[in-house]
Structures are given as C-alpha cells and as structure tokens.
C-alpha cells in the first residue's frame, strides 16, 4: 500500500521534570488511529483532552511504558493517578528523509502529510479515589 512505512507509528517520548528526564521508544498501539499523517490540525484532537476523551497517555503509549517513564521520575501511575495531556504548547512536522511522501491515502481515503510529529505538552494527573 502506498504511503505505509516500516517506521509508521514508531515514537519516542521524553518527559522533563525540573532537571530530571525520562525517555522511551515504543510502538503506538494499532488501535490508536493516526489518519492523515502529520496533520497539525489533528494533533490536539488525537493527543489532548477533549470533550470525548480524557487525553490519557495510555491512549497512545503502552501502559507499561507510561508506568516506567514516570517511575524513572519517582512518580507512581495507577488508575487513581493517571497522567493526561491538558495542553499542547508546541507542535511541528519535521521532514522524514526516509519517508518523504507523497502519501495518497492517509488511512481514511484522504491524502496525508508526510513527516515526523514533534510536540511539547503539559501533563497533569487526573486523581480519583478508588
């Protein structure tokens, strides 16, 4: 299929808390849709908190990866203490030399924008009592 790459849905995330950092590489779960490639207009809808979704990191990062990232920062993640993206402060598409495009079908029949998405976001915790 045109436009599908071997690096599709590969991701790296870096968390920064003061001087401390935690980083992980992972595959985004196949159930998380990324139609139309690096379309920046879709970034808040995909990753952030909306009326329909909580913006949980576990929506697009495997739960074990999320737990390890925050454990590296000394923070325990659970269903009662769930990290969510509350704001995306910067998003940009960078050229992907390995996959320059064009992409005729972005997964939903419409053309897609090739590139690597880079974003900065504010992560807060939704705290609930069990």
* Digit-coded pLDDT (tens) for 31-85: 888 888 889 999 999 999 888 888 999 999 999 999 999 999 999 999 999 999 9
On the question of pLDDT at 106 being above 50, the answer is yes
CA–CA separation, 111 and 113 (whole Å): 7
Residue 110 counted as domain residue: yes
Provide φ and ψ at 122, rounded to 5°. Answer: -95, 125
Residue located via tokens 């924008």: 113
Task: Tell me if the bond preceding 102 is cis, omega within 30° of 0.
Answer: yes
Domain count, the chain: 1
What's the whole-number mean pLDDT along residues 82-100?
91
Q: Is residue 68 part of a domain?
A: yes
Q: What is the 3-state secondary structure (H, E, C) of 42-106?
A: HHHHHHCCCCCCCCEHHHCCCHHHHHHHHHHCCCCCECCEEEEEEEEEEEEEECCCCCCCCECCC
Between residues 46 and 106, the one the model is more confident about: 46
Q: What is the pLDDT of residue 5?
A: 56
d(CA 73, CA 42): 29
Question: Is 28 contained in some domain?
Answer: yes
Question: What pLDDT score does 105 carry?
Answer: 81
- Is 3 within the bounds of a domain? no
Domain assignment present for 2: no
Q: Is the pLDDT of residue 3 over 70?
A: no
pLDDT value at residue 41: 92
Range of the domain at 62: 10-127
Residue 89 lies in a domain: yes
Cα R_g (the chain), whole angstroms: 15
Q: Does the residue 116 lie in any domain? A: yes
Tell me the three state secondary structure of residue 7: coil
Residue 4 located in a structural domain: no
């Amino acid at each position: 299929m045109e436009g599908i790459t071997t690096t599709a849905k590969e991701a790296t995330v870096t968390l920064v808390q003061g001087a401390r950092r935690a980083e992980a590489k992972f595959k985004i779960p196949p159930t998380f849709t990324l139609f139309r490639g690096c379309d920046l207009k879709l970034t808040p809808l995909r990753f952030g908190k909306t009326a329909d979704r909580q913006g949980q990191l576990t929506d697009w990062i495997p739960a074990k990866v999320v737990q390890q990232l925050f454990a590296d920062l000394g923070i325990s993640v659970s269903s009662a203490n769930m990290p969510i993206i509350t704001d995306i402060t910067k998003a940009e598409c960078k050229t992907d030399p390995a996959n320059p495009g064009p992409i005729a079908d972005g997964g939903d029949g419409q053309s897609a924008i090739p590139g690597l998405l880079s974003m900065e976001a504010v992560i807060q915790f939704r705290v609930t009592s069990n």
